[in-house]
Amino acid sequence: MGVGIVVVADRERAERGEYLGMGTNNIAELTAISRGLDLAAELAPDRNRPIRIYSDSNYALGLLGKGWKAKANQELVADLREQLAAFPHVKLVKVAGHAGVDNNERCDELARQAVTSRHNV
């Protein structure tokens, strides 16, 4: 399993791909959001600035934005909810997967590269 992250803050852009090992797609989707928040805080430390998280994951967006109850990955979800609480102006945005959305396609590419190489990119 791997994740790809693209963060754009003002005129800065950072990309990361991370190999996570064996696990589920749902774990990868949640982990990607967590790693994206980490990278956003690195790039622009002001946690009061607006942040938009784009994801094609109904699972992650449902758990984090629609109040779905976590039946699996409960610890990961709880940790991520706590992490999100430190960013008061977060908006979750659903994008279509594999539909040509540039940064979403780039995230998929970074994740595939990380899995293929079994290294972070």
Contact 80, 34 (CB under 8 A): yes
Residue environment code for 68-82, b if the CB has 16+ CB neighbours within 10 A, otherwise e: eebeebeebbeebee
Would you state the pLDDT for residue 97?
A: 75
pLDDT computed for residue 64 by the predictor: 97
- What CATH number does domain 2-117 carry, 3.30.420.10, 3.40.1360.10, 3.90.25.10, 3.40.50.10860? 3.30.420.10
- What pLDDT does residue 89 have? 96
Amino acid identity at 42: E
pTM: predicted TM-score of the whole model, two decimal places: 0.94
Q: What is the pLDDT of residues 53-111, one digit of tens each?
A: 999 999 999 999 999 999 999 999 999 999 999 999 999 999 987 777 889 999 999 99
Query: Domain residues of the chain, as ranges?
Result: 2-117
Calculate the dihedral angle through the C-alpha atoms of 75, 3, 6, 16, rounding to the nearest 10 degrees: 110
Residue 8 has pLDDT above 90, yes or no: yes
Q: What is the pLDDT of residues 17-58, one digit of tens each?
A: 999 999 999 999 999 999 999 999 999 889 999 999 999 999
